[in-house]
Amino acid sequence: MSKELAKTYDPKGIEDRIYQKWMDKKYFHAEVDHSKTPFTIVIPPPNITGQLHMGHALDNTMQDILIRFKRMQGYNALWQPGTDHASIATEVKIIEKLKEEGVSKEDLGREGFLERAWDWKKEYGGRIISQLKKMGSSCDWDRERFTMDEGCNQAVTEVFCRMHEKGWIYKGSRIINWCPVCNTSISDAEVEYTEQAGHFWHIKYPVIEKDGSVSQTRFVEFATTRPETMLGDTAVAVNPEDDRYKDIIGKKLMLPIVNREIPVVADSYVDMEFGTGVVKITPAHDPNDFEVGKRHNLPEINILNDDATINEMGGKFCGMDRYEARKAIVKELDEMGLLVKIEDHSHNVGTHDRCKTTIEPMIKQQWFVKMEDLIKPAVRAVKSGDIRLVPKRMEKTYFNWTDNIRDWCISRQLWWGHRIPAYYCDGCGETVVSAKMPDKCPKCGCEHFTQDPDTLDTWFSSALWPFSTLGWPQQTEDLKYFYPTDVLVTGYDIIFFWVIRMIFSGFEHMGEKPFKTVLFHGLIRDAQGRKMSKSLGNGIDPLEIIDKYGADALRLTLITGNAPGNDMRFYYERVEASRNFANKIWNASRFIMMNMPEEGVGEEKPKLEPVDKWILSKLNTLIREATSNMENFELGIAVQKVYDFIWDEFCDWYIEMVKSRLYGTDEGTKKAALWTLKTVLIDALKLLHPYMPFITEEIFCTLQSQEESIMVSQWPEYQEQWRFDQEEKDIEMIKEAVRGIRNIRTEMNVAPGRKAQMFVVSENEDALKAFTEGALFFASLAGASEVTVQKDKAGIAKDAVSVVIAGAAVYIPFAELVDIKQEIERLQKEEKRLTGELARVNGMLNNEKFMSKAPEAKIAEERAKLEKYTNMMEQVKERLTQLKGQA
């Protein structure tokens, strides 16, 4: 062979070079080709503000594994990449930067701010893409998209206009999540629930008697975690089945401080078993209360300004911060005798994941998508199996959301993002939804309009991702060929924020599902099982791991032991084990190449030995099983099988078994060994390639010259001609015998270099034949000086130790394994050492001073030592007795 591998494996020296080669050769690029079957994955678009984290690393490794696997199987594989504009995250970053310059977004104005935003995108937007390339991601970078590029922007506008025309999109007042610091509505995905220490304030409202007077004796008691919202109460609710309150249903209560009469309504929403069974209803500040309010036609009173201060509806508390008002209200209720008690209460509080501000549920006029009918095809698709969720248990989460669907708030009070294509007539206020500003108002004829200042929720544009990236709303050839896509790989934490929205959007705008399968993965947690976060400081930078261990080691670590939908813990020890595996493959490959003749071994199969057939048969089974596992998205199971085969069967067994043939003079058997080594290594590298693309490429291209890259080579297929059942059975029997002999030698403390005569006894003709042909393996693998294969125990010493396996037994004369005199001397020294240790331990444990003053842990430690040394002494004495009897 003219080429050879470097002495040591250095990922830094090869990964960038190999990736550039793949890019230059356009291996990642896919074009419409009707002679091939397409296989498409769209990337969950990372934020342009993003820095690669372990979740990205796992998500993109899984996608890359699937796309490389399918590409090698001959599919026309497209992995569609792109990034998300991330409205809030990006706007926050830019505002922070402006603050450093002493400038606000209002100072710049909308157009000036957007110029800065696009500059920011140009400067930082490609950062995460370059990091994904470091991971080895084989996306079609020629097709890279951005959620605010011209094509995607056109798709968003088209969808908004179409859905508004159909009545799916409307403007109205509903409860939304409001961030008082960012001054915008935010999606459920951006609300992070954190456990906070709070209180339950038990408050009572007086009943209004028939004569209109406020009762001094009759009250209705409830508990709340947000007493300030009482300013907006418009009712109190009880369960209609609750006997305690049936007599007051329909009566009025006096809302203290505000002095407003509010009704007692009956609603099954109230849990009779929780607290007092009474719930205050504030329709403008609680999503559940909002629904109760709708059912009972209750007024909706918003008591908060956008900055979470109390508005004019709060009377004397107007202008106070929400928490300042809370204290004042509680104090006044206490003075009025209406504060029953305060209980400590720890509960989950919604905070904005960006600025960590506690969000306020607030009734606001916003743009919404009507979901009740829109969601139905998405429900049917999963129920019918048209769309498959992996693992299947994710269906429970899916249907829990679809069954409790609420209209989707899609407007955001931001400047960076897709601006809502709605225009208000300056003359009469008429709303016109249009792809561009109208020329004339259809109602009054006015020619002056003001565009809605809001932008769309980021999820609105990413919901269109599977088809907007392929050219929709134009009916492009790409769209016709690559849609629907095949697999979506994503974390289970955004199942309804993104996955479900893509599904109903696909059915609504394409008339077809957006993908056939959704493969969910879990979260990467730290070694203690905690979620990685900035606040805990336990995040791990994938790029640092790559710099130290290489991308292949990180990729293998992330997938080994990984099961769909399950969280996994990250240990550095596992990365080191993956790096060691890479070294193992490298060294084994280098050894094979060093033994290859200059002219190579040719493609024609030579006459194979049984052990050659055994490894080919094992490989054949691996090909069938690993391929099946990958087809079923059992990526962790597949790679574990490939790992075990390469490390155990190929490196530790087969290479060791054929070394004597490589160094021998029989050219025929040497050629067969080399042909098998090369054949098996190439297919093993192909099976490993989707997981560890860099090292497999370097070895593959060095080992052979027929193909220019492993990533465009053919995926191995099961071959009936490589099924060698008898040879597999025979070699596995020899392996079992060797393992047994190795265990005996370890137990008897036999020196590694000591050789011993061995007798293999069996009455089975197949076993006798297998052991006769495989006798040479016992010399290199089990320390045999000579092997005799026979049908009975004739001539075998009575003191021989034995290894019994199915169908045969191996006997080794005791004196062959152990130098009895030398072993007696060693055991006598050990006996002397243990006598000293036992004397020391017994001395301490019999010392009253030690026993009275030593810590309990120290005493327990010494007692454990006494038990250990006593057991060891018994074994040494027993062994000495045996040996002295044989000396």
Q: Would you list which residues are annotated within the binding site for ATP?
A: 534
Distance of alpha carbon 280 from alpha carbon 283, whole angstroms: 10
Q: CB–CB of 18/692 below 8 Å?
A: no
- Cα–Cα nearest to 697, from 131, 138, 19: 19
How does DSSP classify residue 638? H
Give the helix ranges, DSSP H, for 595-718: 610-631, 635-644, 656-663, 667-688, 693-703
DSSP line for 817-858 = H--HHHHHHHHHHHHHHHHHHHHHHHHHHT-HHHHHHS-HHH
Residue 739 CA to its chain's centroid (Å): 38
Question: Three-state SS for 171?
Answer: strand
Q: Give yes or no for a contact between 472 and 465, defined as CB atoms under 8 angstroms apart.
A: no
Strands of 723-882, DSSP E: 756-761, 784-790, 801-805, 808-812
- Torsion angles phi and psi, residue 176, rounded to 5: -135, 170
Give dist(CA 199, CA 210) in Å, integer.
35
- Count Cβ atoms below 10 Å from residue 360 Cβ, excluding itself: 19
**SS3 for 384?**
helix
Quick check: 425 and 377 in contact, CB under 8 A? Answer: no
CA distance 808 to 74: 47
- Least Cα distance to 181 among 107, 114, 91 occurs for 91
Residue 280 has, within 13 A of its CA and on its CB side, a CA count of 26
| Residue stretches of the annotated binding site | 534
Count Cβ atoms within 10 A of the Cβ of residue 567 and give its class: 0-12 exposed, 13-18 middle, 19 or more buried.
Answer: middle
**What is the 8-class DSSP label of residue 8?**
S
- Asked if 360 and 311 touch (Cβ cutoff 8 Å), the reply is no
Burial class (CB in 10 A: 0-12, 13-18, 19+), 176: buried
CB atoms within 10 A of CB 5: 18
- Alpha carbon 383 to chain centroid, angstroms: 25
176's enclosing H/E stretch is: strand 169-179
Retrieve residue 831's tokens. 């006996």
Terminal alpha carbon distance of the chain = 56
DSSP for 52-96 reads: --HHHHHHHHHHHHHHHHHHHTT-EEEEE-EEB--HHHHHHHHHH
Helix axes 551-559, 54-72, angle to 10 degrees: 90
H or E stretch at 381: helix 376-384
